[in-house]
Amino acid sequence: MSNVSLFVGRADDLQAVEDLLTQNSRVNIAAAVGMGGVGKTELAWQYARRRGDAFAGGVCWLRGVEPIAPQIVSFARDYLNLEVPEQSEDPVAWCVQRWPKEGERNGPVLMVVDDVQDYGALKPLLPNDGRFRVLLTTRQAILTEGQRLALAVLVPEAALELLTGLVGTARIEAALADAKALCEWVGRLPLGVELVGWYLAQRPDLTIATLLERLEGKRLDAKALVDTHPEMTATLGVAAAFEVSWEPLTAEAKMLAGLLGLFVAAPVDWDWVRQACGQDVLDEEALEDAQAELLRVNLLQRQAAKNGPRYQVHPLVREFFAVKLAELSNAEALQRGFAQAMTEIAKEIPQPATLAVQKRVGEAVPHMEEVTLRWAERLEGIDKLWCSGGLARFYESLNQWGEAERCWKRSLTISREQLGDRHPHTASSLNNLAGLYRSQGRYSEAEPLYVQALEIWQTELGDRHPDTATSLNNLAGLYRLQGRYSEAEPLYVQALEIWQTELGDRHPDTASSLNNLAALYKSQGRYGEAEPLYVQALEIRQTELGDRHPDTASSLFNLAALYYQTQRHQQALAYIQQALDIYVPVLGSENPTTQNAQSWLVGIQQAIDQST
């Protein structure tokens, strides 16, 4: 019933079972606990097989899904030759009391109860005798932590070893990358690895890459995850194994499971779940109860983390939950809640994303990607743009230009499809994509987008709108980088005049406009005109944004560069050090802006050393 040669990666777990069952001379009860398919039954089989000689009193194997008392009586009659009275009030106690204690059977007894469904009903029937060691396997978190072994999925090396044992070394080595990907696709769940392994073993001409394509297409309905093999311990496919845990769940737990099926197989902050669920779906107490229920049957895992606990669903369980979601009456509300929750996180991502923001939202990125790929239709209006835009800003902050471009293009497509070619948000999407191209030096691709965005804003919002000023400023910035100073200056001046009039002399956007015009003058060597604008921008930012804001650091950096170019090295050194004092903790030492400032610091210090 158990293929011994393919039992891998569980040496430590076997020893843990041994330790739990031999803690002392009293009755010892231990439980191997874990999700369906993780290998609890196989572990128990292997322990009984390998340690069977140590139990002179015998090994009694019972099925937890069936009544226990008749099984014990049947074992006593068939293997112990006991004549159990038909009318005994407590036949289990009768058998335990008369369990052979002399001759060959004198010694400890191992009793295994596999797949325990109702520990409350089982507990009174377990022997209260120091000779017995009782090993339970169950999906439920029973017994105390000191009495149970939480069985995890296989580590990558063990999963690959199991697959290799089934498929063959030569075949695996010829497609090693695909083999590793296959193990990860099934989440290194022993049941999943065995199923796909036997499937491949029976089809010697089938490539692993082709099997991966089938799994991507058919998911849990794929034949490779449904049909078991006679040599396997397991008798159920993946979905059927999970169904055993699903059926007893309450309606609230099934609702929560459906919601979790919308998240990708990555860590989840419970605040996101709470926000996606909403009080109108599950109130706080109902959500807590549902969470506890899923944790209890190991359909949800809790992970300790520095910034608070995280929760995760196994990849195959997540696939199962996603299928079950379609059966729920409020599936659409859950989908919309998930999309809205991820969108709210995306709205928090500034440009550039600071180090603190990167840490806070980084874990949410794969879930936001899921919204943009599958659930954006659940959002309304401009909310559809937020996830793509937030992701683009996040990727830009990490210099992941290809990912950022993909997201900005997706944002532009959504704008045009949902809002039209002339909508101001379409202009914003054009502007953002142009900004990415400008950052990469792709000026010829950026210019027509900037020009198109400006024309839309001027026509739809008017010549005096702040967004029009933003567009003028951005196009001017592109011209400055190209050395087209005569074209840039009137646009910068016009943008500054709009911001001063419409937003006021103390607005941060006005400070940015002053800063940009100063940069143009500095590029032309017009230092006397640049300096007062830089100083004015710094003063506004310090007052309105604070001394620790990245924009304040930017102003300090710009003045430092100006002072360096005008041979005022000590002033330059002081300002660049102040800028770095802000950049390092806010943006991080690996951020390009921080690294650029550090390079300037070295150059300024060298200039000072040479002058002395």
506-558 pLDDT, tens digit each: 999 999 999 999 999 999 999 999 999 999 999 999 999 999 999 999 999 99
Give the ranges where 278-352 is alpha helix by DSSP (H): 284-296, 315-325, 331-347
pLDDT score at 4: 45
Select the more confidently predicted residue: 612 or 541.
541
Place of tokens 């500034």: 350
pLDDT score at 381: 64
DSSP for 54-122 reads G-TT-EEEEETTS-HHHHHHHHHHHHS-----TT-S-HHHHHHHTS--SGGG-S-EEEEEES-S-HHHH
Query: Which of 265, 365, 270, 254 lies closest to 317, judged by CA?
Result: 265
- For the four alpha carbons of 116, 118, 123 and 126, in that order, the dihedral sign comes to negative
Evaluate if residue 1 carries a pLDDT over 60.
no
Please compute the mean of the pLDDT values over residues 191-208 and round it to a whole number: 96
Evaluate if residue 502 carries a pLDDT over 60.
yes
pTM for this structure? Answer: 0.81
pLDDT score at 5: 52
From residue 13, give the alpha-carbon distance in Å to each of 17, 159, 226, 318, 440: 6, 15, 27, 26, 52
Please compute the mean of the pLDDT values over residues 464-486 and round it to a whole number: 96
**In the chain, where are the structural domains located?**
4-150, 156-239, 249-329, 330-418, 546-612
Q: What is the distance, to the nearest Å, from the Cα of residue 50 to the centroid of all Cα atoms in its chain? A: 39
Give the chain's length.
612
User: What percent of the chain clears pLDDT 70, i.e. is strictly above it?
Assistant: 97
pLDDT score at 106: 64
Q: Which of 92-106, 273-287, 510-524 shows the highest mean pLDDT?
A: 510-524
Fold of 249-329: Arc Repressor Mutant, subunit A (1.10.10)
Q: Cβ(316)–Cβ(189) under 8 Å?
A: yes
Residue type present at position 196: V
Place of tokens 């990907």: 181
Average pLDDT, the chain: 92
Q: What is the CATH number of domain 546-612?
A: 1.25.40
Query: According to the 3-state scheme, what is the secondary structure of 559-579?
Result: HHHHHHHCCCHHHHHHHHHHH
Give the ranges where 348-442 is alpha helix by DSSP (H): 355-361, 365-370, 383-397, 401-418, 424-439
How many other C-beta atoms lie within 10 A of the C-beta of residue 174? Answer: 12
Dump pLDDT digits (tens) for 346-381. Answer: 988 887 777 778 888 889 999 999 998 888 777 776
pLDDT score at 453: 97
How many other C-beta atoms lie within 10 A of the C-beta of residue 15? Answer: 11
Domain 4-150 indexed as CATH 3.40.50.720: no
Q: Which of 184-193, 388-397, 582-591 shows the highest mean pLDDT?
A: 184-193
pLDDT score at 425: 92
Rounded to 5 degrees, what are φ and ψ at 30? -130, 155
Evaluate if residue 208 carries a pLDDT over 80.
yes
Please compute the mean of the pLDDT values over residues 199-222 and round it to a whole number: 96
Please compute the mean of the pLDDT values over residues 67-93 and round it to a whole number: 89
pLDDT score at 2: 47
pLDDT score at 24: 62
How many other C-beta atoms lie within 10 A of the C-beta of residue 301? Answer: 18
pLDDT score at 354: 76
Structure tokens at 368: 């936001």
User: What percent of the chain clears pLDDT 90, i.e. is strictly above it?
Assistant: 75
Structure tokens at 404: 């950022």
Q: Quick one: pLDDT band at residue 162, thresholds 50, 70, 90?
A: very high
Structure tokens at 284: 């706080």
Q: Cβ(110)–Cβ(48) under 8 Å?
A: yes
Evaluate if residue 397 carries a pLDDT over 90.
no
Residue type present at position 13: D
Evaluate if residue 27 carries a pLDDT over 70.
no
